[in-house]
Structure 1
């Protein structure tokens, strides 16, 4: 199975969002990204056990969503929003790192 993809601006680092079908925080993260005009690659771990194993190996977390911007592991929805409130999300999206 291929990950679901939404169009993204070529100038921003790739956003990867590990999710499940019934996760309300995943929906909130996707709605936030959409409101910013951003796209992402969605990896559904509920339909792909290998993707779940890969996510846990990369993040050491079992909860979703798990969000990556480029190679930077942002964390979950609350982490994404904390980064945004701290003014650090936009620089990360511009490829400047945290």
Structure 2
């Protein structure tokens, strides 16, 4: 085997090693295994959907509470024109919250 062929084989071996490493980084085997088990795929997607929904609900509740606090603060500043409108919104929300 001459020097050129040896160099080509080493370059090819390096490329194969790099490809194998990239496939391990992509977790390709785990992905293919997951695709072969549709029940597990559905379960994982269901759990992730629940987590997203819960996160959105909690986030919306926190944002809503912060918005109410900001609106209450704006009412206390007694800004003309905006103050009355915001006071009505805050009153409506507080009436809805109390049983």
Alignment TM-score, normalising by the size of structure 1: 0.20
| Higher Cα Rg, which structure | 2
Structure with the larger strand share? 1
- Which structure ranks higher in relative contact order (CA pairs < 8 Å, sequence separation ≥ 6)? 1
TM-score of the pair, normalised by structure 2: 0.20
Structure having the larger proportion of residues in helix: 2
